[in-house]
Amino acid sequence: MLNLSNISQIYKQGNESIKVLDNLSLKLDKHCNVGLIGPSGSGKSTLLNLIGLLENPTSGRININNFDCENLNLEEKTNFRKNNIGFIFQNNQLLEDFTCEENVALPLILNGISYKKSIFKAQESLIDLGLESRMKIKPSLLSGGEQQRVAVLRALIKKPLIILADEPTGNLDSFNANNVFKQIINLSKKQKTTTITATHNIELLAYFDVCYKIEKGKLIEYK
């Protein structure tokens, strides 16, 4: 389902070349929950950006669901990402001018589904997660944990092949972090979505099927 072959990523900083990822390879089957750990600056977010087709690798191949993604043009990458990849960020990135149900429905609306059907699907998801009383209000009125749960639903509403979560519980206390992450894992398993999570939170390691550490640009299985 996901096959990264000999991925390197080098950034230029003045006259200096900084190699963040060094000939890294990874192969994942469908329906697994994967952790990425490593210190800040180790390349976790860079790797997620590459898988999410937000950056191009300096060298190497990215194959997702039998598509050689490095050969796609910008429009093709945008469409592929829109249909197959969901993102969860540390700061949730909810739209403040939209209600919770509108935020959750947005990926469906952008994929051409009618506003009415999209809102109905969003309402179903919010009810399933116990957020029915929050459907019509703006994100600024939610707690941090509630905001992140809405962001999780938005990422999963279109049933993507892959969820990329970059420090999804980084702004939450331990109790809310564990609750939110349990919901990410449970919903992903229900939808048979592969989840790749970059985190500093060692309490989350027990939830992963496999965990990798990025060290000096290399990917090492963490046991």
For residue 160, tell me if it sits in a domain: yes
CATH number at residue 194: 3.40.50.300
Rounded Cα gap, residues 178 and 197, in angstroms: 14
Task: Give pLDDT, residue 170.
Answer: 84
Domain count, the chain: 1
Q: What is the pLDDT of residues 36-95, one digit of tens each?
A: 998 888 999 999 999 999 999 999 999 999 889 988 899 999 999 989 999 998 888 899
Give residue 186's domain range. Answer: 30-59+72-221
Q: What is the pLDDT of residues 130-144, one digit of tens each?
A: 899 999 999 999 999
Q: Which amino acid is residue 131, in one-letter code?
A: L
Q: Which two tokens stand for residue 2?
A: 């996901």
> Are 135 and 123 in contact, with CB atoms under 8 Å apart?
yes
Residues in the chain: 223
For residue 65, tell me if it sits in a domain: no
Q: What is the pLDDT of residues 147-203, one digit of tens each?
A: 999 999 999 999 999 999 999 988 888 888 888 899 999 999 999 999 999 998 888
Rounded Cα gap, residues 108 and 103, in angstroms: 10
For residue 11, tell me if it sits in a domain: no
For residue 2, tell me if it sits in a domain: no
* Burial of 191 (C-beta count, 10 Å sphere; 0-12/13-18/19+): middle
For residue 147, tell me if it sits in a domain: yes
In this prediction the pTM is: 0.92
Sign of the CA dihedral running 200, 202, 203, 209: positive
For residue 6, tell me if it sits in a domain: no
